Amino acid sequence: MNRPAILELRGVDVAHGRTPVLHGVSLTVGRGEIVTLIGANGAGKSTLLMAIFGLPSVSRGEVWFDGQPITRLPTHRVARLGLAQVPEGRRIFPGMTVLENLVMGSMVGEKDEAALARIHALFPLLRERGGQRAGTLSGGEQQMLAIGRALMSRPRLLLLDEPSLGLAPLMIRRIFQALREIVAEGTTLFLVEQNANQALRLADRGYVLANGRIVLEGSGLALLADPEVRRAYLGGH
Ligand SMILES: Nc1ncnc2c1ncn2[C@@H]1O[C@H](COP(=O)(O)OP(=O)(O)OP(=O)(O)O)[C@@H](O)[C@H]1O
Ligand SMILES: [Mg+2]
């Protein structure tokens, strides 16, 4: 990887209470890259994303963002540096409108018209449905909203936790196409996926997490062709 790192984890351990979950995790995301982390249920993928934001906290090792350590920064300080997260399960506010959800995502807490225009261009449906209660959107539409909301803070690095979860193939293609556009506009992506096939096709590089440890890394294409990855994460096809 020749690009300067925007995110770096160095030997990171994380526990939930007394239960150790991540063990010596090191990985790098270069500026402008799409990097994916794949792994089975319970491997620690969501824990890793959340630990970047400081909750749960990193018990050993370091997290660096854009040349500065953020290991012990509180979540709101991390967010202010230019990271945003699309959490597992989307976590939109179902009783609020689509537009209100988007505005909630902006840093300043007031409407950032330019950011909103960019998100409406990316997902025209979010403009059309602006006045609709978010809880009435389909799963795929809610995923678009969750991504749009995260983009409202104009992040330089966007972390996504299983954006394809529970979505039909056509909707997954639309979401992943939008992710390509987001990267083309200058945002770096780090996404966690159980859908290894799609994620590795999208990504420049990938890491495989098993039982809280990085066990493989390589280009998306190399991992797709790897016999171990095929056996364990691609159903052996
Ligand atoms: N809040 C929590 N308190 C205690 N243990 C937790 C908590 N959250 C997760 N764990 C445990 O940490 C381990 C890793 O969970 P995590 O959610 O990070 O995995 P994951 O790779 O995201 O899985 P999935 O693919 O199912 O989303 C699991 O054993 C899980 O039971
Ligand atoms: Mg998870």
> Concatenated DSSP letters for 80-119?
HTTEEEE-TT----TTSBHHHHHHHTSTTSS--HHHHHHH
> Could you tell me the residue range of the domain that residue 145 belongs to?
90-153
Residues whose beta carbons lie less than 5 angstroms from ion ligand 2 = 45-46, 88
Residue that finishes a domain, picked among 110, 130, 153: 153
Task: Tell how far the Cα of 44 is from the centroid of ligand 1, in angstroms.
Answer: 6
**Over the stretch 115-126, which tens digit does the pLDDT of each residue have?**
999 999 999 999
Q: Examine the domain organization and report whether 222 and 195 are in the same domain.
A: yes
The number of angstroms, rounded, from the C-alpha of 107 to the middle of its chain's C-alpha atoms is: 18
Residue that finishes a domain, picked among 153, 178, 206: 153
**Over the stretch 48-78, which tens digit does the pLDDT of each residue have?**
999 999 989 999 999 999 999 999 999 889 9
User: Ligand 1: which of 21, 53, 57 to mutate, most ligand atoms within 8 Å of CB?
Assistant: 21
Q: Examine the domain organization and report whether 78 and 160 are in the same domain.
A: yes
Q: Examine the domain organization and report whether 133 and 112 are in the same domain.
A: yes
Q: Given pLDDT bands bounded at 50, 70 and 90, which one contains residue 225?
A: very high
Q: Examine the domain organization and report whether 103 and 113 are in the same domain.
A: yes
Q: Examine the domain organization and report whether 124 and 195 are in the same domain.
A: no
Q: Give the pLDDT of residue 2.
A: 56
CATH value at residue 202:
3.40.50.300
Q: Examine the domain organization and report whether 72 and 142 are in the same domain.
A: no
Contacts of 210 (CB under 8 A, 6+ apart): 39, 40, 43, 232
Q: Examine the domain organization and report whether 198 and 182 are in the same domain.
A: yes
Task: Tell how far the Cα of 113 is from the centroid of ligand 2, in angstroms.
Answer: 33
